Chain A
């Protein structure tokens, strides 16, 4: 409820010089340092940064809920002119949920599993306003339909686990908006959701905040998302804001070296792994209790000047031109352009692909599901099949990077398992290096064969055995692949591999818990390459890493691939990374291939409707790109009962008619190597406007790295 009389005079949120620390056995650890922000009514500010930068702590500090061992040690937070730190618990309680509301990262965890959703929603008006039960019910129900949930009555009576992740997040949003708060705190609201679901939620949040005039503090690590949703942005690094201004300003002309570096790490459509590769930020994030003197970013900054930058704490400086209201925490912001920095990453010659190393021919993987209920036994239908992979056809050539793209449930992990020998294919053939391996599980493969086809795993924290040292784990792999058998030579090879992944040699004696996420992933890569593999399957190898670390690890993979001409099978849901490093792309949906072909062909028209929707859903951190908006309605069909026709028919915005539900779509050749499985004719599909276009000189142009 805004203070209509004073209009825009009082900012909704005014944070001044905030310092927040955690008090642990090891002493005081500062989490947020010198944070200032002014948020006007109706404004949306994004708080961007990598892990450990303190952005979530800011949100908790606003709510005055930092846990038993955290506390505000300096500065003030004023909400509509009132100092939050000076309020009593009772006053805070009245504000929470009614004037200041929060939306969380994991919606399933944020909802009480033992209470109905209706109950949880109704609590908000019941406790904050004097309403009756009936009125609270009606308000909650109305809000559920405002957030576009079908069948609100059913949702009111349901428990959290009975609805999907996207629907749960909508309920959380409804819960936050029920008392028309003035300030909405969003803590990574879409990180845990699939890309196409994310798009819907983002759109919803934008609509709602316009409708209610709510101010928003949007916390995310995804720069593209912030570009789409916010008016202003604060970039944080290691507890401090390093740059703050209007969104377009920061994106078009970042002034802080960290922001600049961050943009260099993000795979935007104009990046290209050979012509304009990503540039990783050198060095490591400092540990919270080991921050350097002076500028926190100093040790990693190419513009660092000893004596000046590490002398004393740096304050924010105002940049007055070209755009007002732009602040940066850098002593030398106006001198940076004159610095001679090391040249940006070198261009590379693209690798020429060789002979096919992997050929997948009509591969199928079905999992039997036994229905042990009495009904099933009687009707004779005791066994049903989960059709995890259906009619897969593609190949990968030597030195190439082939990406498999799809959201959760598309079957890409199953495919990886069959390839690696953890499962055997139900039908079809997989030929690797000339050998047919679809029916050969891992224990029937020779050490050489195993060493020739290895995998890099997704979760860096789980990829290494916590009880053994790094060196011993790599050595074991070397020994197992029969590459070396003498301890001396094995030791030498371990060192070689550590050099290959750019880790210091003394890491061989460290245990995994002493390594950071990115470092652990590098060890995982070293392990995969220990046997000189012909092909490496990388299953979401960078999804769990911070943006700047992602760039470094991706860079490393490309480097090694160039050196050894290894074939890389890259599985991911992140289209930006895929566009950056894949030569060819395979798009999967519910176990089937929807489209496949060279990257440039797949990412421009003609598109398969699903590819089109995926492309439109991915946020892009580039102000010169315009993107068409396509939002998918409906839910993923169940894998036990896939539709007879096209699996995408239940959600396809371009659905032609009942033919899509009944008949399998034909494989149409849109180019020499480009296949689209769709009922719509190629001629029609080619006429579709590109999803992503660059806007240069006012004219839309196709995206091309040369123009970047």
Chain B
């Protein structure tokens, strides 16, 4: 088991390195563009050349990459061209805010979708199954920006009970968290519920459940002890991977509700060609995604006896 964990972490590191190459490639491949982005479109060719020379951009690509990686890993993320402050100063605060948002989403979404999924899968084909499935499909069809518009119209415009933005200008406010969390949960629970349902339905048709029933065990025991143990393995991994999805979803939601999170930062940076912020955000996002994937794999291996003891 430990060997597996070690291998998995090594793979994770390799992936991060490859990703960093990709990110660096995309953003800094042409030095001319970098100079323009840093100095602005109105800078002259001469100014750019001087800046490029000064900052070592006329050296070969792999040297630049190596230095960049070195700086990056030791915590020097560069300076934001837009805000003119080190990236570190802006980034981590935003990451924490998004973390809070993510936590709230998980706390609401996980119990909700697991329960609905199990209820649906337990009785495949029944009314409750069809109802839950259709509801899940309907909500997954509404993109976050659309549901943001719709809930905003409902709760802010018509009912007027919730604030329309989540800028948190007066310190933390629970009311301002509700709409962003709601939008994210609404979109995501349907997917997780359906995966859980599929897993549960599959388990219920297995021969070992039949064995359990024909052994004369009470229905509750069959479900709680025999079925869930196997049915919840797949949803667990799906839930871990939702962190990856969440990092996408927050971009839209934070943008819409002006929540000062990591997603909004990335978007603004990309709209304003703030290169070093983009790089830093991309790397953080990928790190979280890859880490959640590794955790998910390790968790799956642990939960599945067939793999854990092979």
Contacts and interface: CB of A to CB of B under 8 A. Distances in A.
Asked if A and B touch directly (CB within 8 angstroms), the answer is: yes
Interface range for A: 20 to 34
Contacts of A65: 210, 213-214
B305 A114 contact: yes
B272 interface: no
Contacts of B125: 68
Interface string A100-132: 011010100111111100000001100110000
Contacts of B230: 112-114
A113 B218 contact: no
Contacts of B210: 65, 110
A503 B309 CA distance: 50
A98 interface: yes
Interface in B251-310: 304-306, 309-310
B218 A110 contact: no
B215 A109 contact: no
Contacts of B206: 109
Interface string B39-73: 00000000000000000000000000000000000
Interface residues of B, number: 25
B212 interface: yes
Interface in B189-228: 206-208, 210-218, 221, 225-226
A127 B221 contact: yes
B159 interface: no
A102 B309 contact: no
B229 interface: yes
B309 A115 contact: no
B220 to A, nearest CB: 11
A161 B208 contact: no
A97 B217 contact: yes
A123 B3 CA distance: 35
B217 A106 contact: no
Contact of B218 (A68, A93, A175): A93
Given A106-B207, A109-B206, A161 B310 contact: yes
B207 A97 contact: no
A301 B126 CA distance: 45
A95 B213 CA distance: 11
Contact of A104 (B211, B212, B304, B306): B211
Nearest to A162: B309
Contacts of A96: 213-216
Contact of B215 (A115, A159, A175): A175
Nearest to A109: B207
A505 interface: no
Nearest to A119: B225
Given A127-B218, A161-B306, A161-B310, A112 B213 contact: no
B35 to A, nearest CB: 47
Interface centre among A68, A93, A110, A112 (most CB of B within 10 A): A112
A219 to B, nearest CB: 15
B215 A124 contact: yes
A113 B230 CA distance: 8
A508 interface: no
A68 B126 CA distance: 11
A113 B3 CA distance: 23
A602 to B, nearest CB: 38
A382 to B, nearest CB: 16
A276 B214 CA distance: 46
Nearest to A159: B305
Contacts of B310: 161
A268 to B, nearest CB: 33
Interface in B93-131: 125
Interface string A621-648: 0000000000000000000000000000
Chain B facing A: main interface SS:
helix
Nearest to B126: A68
A373 interface: yes
A140 to B, nearest CB: 13
Given A114-B305, A162-B309, A127 B212 contact: no
B305 A123 contact: no
A476 interface: no
B215 A112 contact: no
A112 B309 contact: no
Contacts of A127: 215-218, 221
Contacts of A106: 207
Contacts of A104: 207, 211
Contact of A113 (B213, B214, B216, B305): B305
Interface in A169-190: 172, 175
Nearest to B125: A68
Given A113-B305, A114-B229, A115-B229, A93 B207 contact: no
A63 interface: yes
A175 B212 CA distance: 11
Contacts of B3: 373
Contacts of B309: 159, 161-162
A445 to B, nearest CB: 39
Contacts of A112: 208, 211-212, 226, 229-230
Nearest to B225: A115
Contacts of A115: 225-226, 229
A94 interface: yes
Contact of A123 (B215, B229, B304): B215
A373 B211 CA distance: 39
B216 A98 contact: yes
B231 to A, nearest CB: 10
B207 A110 contact: yes
Contacts of B229: 112, 114-115
B207 A95 contact: no
Contact of B208 (A63, A94, A111): A111
Interface string A337-355: 0000000000000000000
Nearest to A95: B216
Interface centre among B3, B207, B216, B230 (most CB of A within 10 A): B216
B174 to A, nearest CB: 40
A69 to B, nearest CB: 10
A595 B221 CA distance: 53
Contacts of B226: 112, 115
B65 to A, nearest CB: 30
B305 A97 contact: no
Contact of B306 (A94, A98, A110, A159): A159
A113 B306 contact: yes
A172 B3 CA distance: 34
A332 to B, nearest CB: 41
Contacts of A93: 216-218
Contacts of B305: 113-114, 159, 161
Contact of A128 (B208, B216, B233): B216
A159 B214 CA distance: 20
B208 A97 contact: no
Contacts of B233: 114
A83 B261 CA distance: 68
A65 B215 CA distance: 12
A175 B215 CA distance: 9
B216 A110 contact: no
Nearest to B310: A161
Nearest to B306: A161
B229 to A, nearest CB: 5
Interface string A370-385: 0001000000000000
A550 B208 CA distance: 31
Interface in A351-374: 373
Nearest to A124: B215
Interface centre among B207, B221, B230 (most CB of A within 10 A): B207
20 contacts: A65-B210, A96-B213, A96-B215, A97-B217, A102-B211, A109-B207, A111-B211, A112-B211, A112-B212, A113-B230, A113-B305, A113-B306, A114-B229, A114-B233, A115-B226, A123-B221, A127-B215, A127-B221, A161-B305, A373-B3
Top 3 A-B pairs, shortest CB-CB distance? A97-B216, A97-B215, A96-B216
Given A112-B208, A113-B304, A161-B310, 8 more contacts: A68-B125, A109-B208, A111-B208, A113-B305, A113-B306, A114-B230, A114-B304, A172-B211
